[in-house]
């Protein structure tokens, strides 16, 4: 058993953060056998772009459809039926080891200060406390909790994603400074962790029926009544936000043998022209709470990283792959501008580039 092979410090980390020892041994054997590899990422079958009617445009401002969606969303939020889930996990590597949510994003305020403060202010305007839950990782949990405790926002609910160990391409443990190298295996942990941690039940007890999920570094993915209303009116358990590409690669809706879902970049066949799909997945979604109260069979993606100049294998899962198991609305949203919903900041240099747009967007109230 792997827990008997590792040093005490690594074992303590694994035991604290939901390490699945049996599952890891199974995955390690699949890597060693070549069953999990870059080739295994690629889906089998006929891949086609989504049809035009597979995408649902967010209603234009001030149209009758926009007013109906806005009123529907406002009513749901004001009644306490909507919560916000913020993905604040990962490995905290792209900002020099500093946990991104605590970084000064704009005007002396951190990503978390803006993200949670906007939600708290929106709730106050409606006379309700909007429930918020944060998913952290072993690398971000302590710093995120300490930072949020310093902010003038209501206490959120907390849960963590799991931890795993990197492998060599042969399926052996990858060692760093003589010890197993740990990592957070993707935000696909959301769908198990929110349920097994008790957070899903805590939200249900509070009357929550829908959760709006977004990355901590995307301040554009605010709790917007029009988006919430569009989700509710569509009547499907999952709404995934997509936006027009502007040189973006990565995940996108596609049809595989006629079935509609989401594929990540490595899942597309090499011969498929990803440019033929005009939108991409922004990693923001609204999900019916009850739809999350079940296990999901999410695929494991084989990701090759370079750690200390050596190839290291990470196996990762992504939560939006539940689109293959749930009836899904692919909601096309505006990516930029005052009502833009996609302002990701992956690297420090991105902040300087997007700050003017962020400032304009944050000045525009979602209540207007």
The tens digit of pLDDT for each residue in 305-321 reads: 999 899 999 999 999 99
Tell me what the mean pLDDT of segment 277-300 comes to: 97
CATH number for position 30: 3.90.550.10
The pair of three-digit structure tokens given for residue 332, joined into one six-digit string: 């096309």
Report yes or no on 180 lying in a domain: yes
How many domains does the chain fold into?
Answer: 1
The answer to whether 322 and 232 have CB atoms below 8 angstroms apart is no
The tens digit of pLDDT for each residue in 329-341 reads: 999 999 988 889 9
| pLDDT for res 349 | 84
Whether the predicted pLDDT of 1 surpasses 80: no
- 10 Å Cβ neighbour count for 213? 25
Report yes or no on 148 lying in a domain: yes
Whether the predicted pLDDT of 346 surpasses 70: yes
Average pLDDT value over all residues in the chain: 94
Strand partners, 182: 165
For tokens 């890891």, the residue is 24
Angle at which helices 111-126 and 64-78 pack, to 10 degrees? 90
The tens digit of pLDDT for each residue in 77-109 reads: 999 999 999 999 987 666 767 899 999 999 999
How many angstroms separate the CA atoms of 86 and 133, rounded? 6
Window from 109-113, 239-243, 346-350 with minimum mean pLDDT? 346-350
| pLDDT for res 264 | 96
- How many CA atoms lie less than 13 Å away from 166 in the CB half-sphere? 20
How many angstroms separate the CA atoms of 88 and 187, rounded? 9
Cα separations in angstroms, 319 against 87, 191, 207, 240, 294: 11, 7, 23, 11, 13
How many angstroms separate the CA atoms of 21 and 19, rounded? 6
Report yes or no on 368 lying in a domain: no
The answer to whether 84 and 131 have CB atoms below 8 angstroms apart is yes
| pLDDT for res 5 | 83
- Give the end-to-end CA distance of the chain in Å, rounded to a whole number: 57
Whether the predicted pLDDT of 131 surpasses 70: yes
Cα separations in angstroms, 301 against 58, 188, 265: 31, 11, 11
Between residues 346 and 206, which one has the greater pLDDT? 206
| pLDDT for res 292 | 98
| Furthest CA-CA distance within the chain | 63
| pLDDT for res 367 | 77
- Domain interval for residue 106: 2-363
Cα separations in angstroms, 173 against 9, 38, 156, 314: 16, 18, 36, 11
How many angstroms separate the CA atoms of 306 and 224, rounded? 39
For tokens 């198991």, the residue is 325
pLDDT band at 326 (very low <50, low <70, confident <90, very high): very high
- State what percent of residues in the chain have pLDDT above 90: 85
Between residues 364 and 157, which one has the greater pLDDT? 157
| pLDDT for res 94 | 67
How many angstroms separate the CA atoms of 292 and 80, rounded? 18
The tens digit of pLDDT for each residue in 160-178 reads: 999 999 999 999 999 999 9
CB crowding 307-325: b at 16 or more within 10 Å, else e? eeeeebbbbbbbbbbbbbb
User: How many residues are given for the chain?
Assistant: 368
Burial of 7 (0-12, 13-18, 19+ CB in 10 A): exposed
Cα separations in angstroms, 163 against 16, 31, 136, 333, 343: 9, 18, 11, 33, 28
């Amino acid at each position: 058993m792997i827990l008997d092979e590792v040093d005490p410090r690594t074992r303590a980390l694994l035991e604290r953060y939901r390490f699945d020892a049996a599952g890891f041994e199974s995955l390690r054997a699949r890597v060693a056998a070549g069953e999990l590899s870059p080739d295994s990422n690629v889906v089998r079958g006929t891949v086609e772009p989504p049809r035009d009617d597979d995408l649902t445009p967010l209603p234009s401002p001030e149209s009758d459809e926009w007013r109906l969606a806005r009123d529907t969303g406002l009513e749901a939020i004001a009644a306490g039926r909507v919560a916000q889930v913020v993905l604040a996990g990962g490995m905290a590597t792209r900002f020099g080891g500093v946990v991104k949510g605590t970084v000064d994003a704009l005007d002396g305020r951190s990503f978390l200060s803006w993200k949670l403060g906007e939600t708290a202010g929106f709730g106050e305007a409606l006379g309700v406390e909007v429930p918020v839950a944060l998913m952290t990782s072993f690398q971000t949990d302590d710093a995120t909790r300490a930072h949020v405790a310093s902010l003038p926002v209501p206490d959120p609910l907390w849960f963590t994603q799991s931890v795993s160990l990197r492998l060599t391409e042969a399926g052996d443990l990858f060692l760093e400074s003589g010890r197993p190298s740990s990592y957070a295996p993707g935000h696909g942990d959301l769908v198990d962790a929110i349920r097994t941690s008790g957070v899903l039940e805590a939200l249900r007890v509070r009357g929550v029926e829908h959760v709006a999920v977004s990355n901590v570094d995307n301040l554009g993915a605010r709790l917007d009544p029009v988006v919430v209303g569009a989700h509710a009116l569509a009547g499907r358990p999952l709404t995934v936000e997509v936006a027009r590409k502007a040189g973006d690669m990565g995940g996108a809706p596609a049809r595989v043998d006629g079935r509609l879902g989401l594929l990540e970049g490595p899942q597309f066949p090499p011969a498929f022209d990803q440019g033929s799909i005009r939108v991409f997945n922004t990693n923001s979604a609204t999900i019916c709470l009850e739809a999350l109260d079940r296990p999901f069979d999410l695929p494991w993606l084989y990701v090759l990283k370079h750690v200390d100049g050596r190839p290291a294998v990470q196996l990762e899962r992504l939560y939006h792959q539940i689109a293959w198991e749930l009836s899904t609305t692919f909601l096309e949203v505006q990516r930029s501008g005052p009502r833009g919903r996609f302002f990701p900041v992956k690297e420090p240099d991105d902040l300087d580039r997007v700050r003017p747009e962020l400032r304009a967007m944050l000045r525009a109230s979602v209540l207007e």
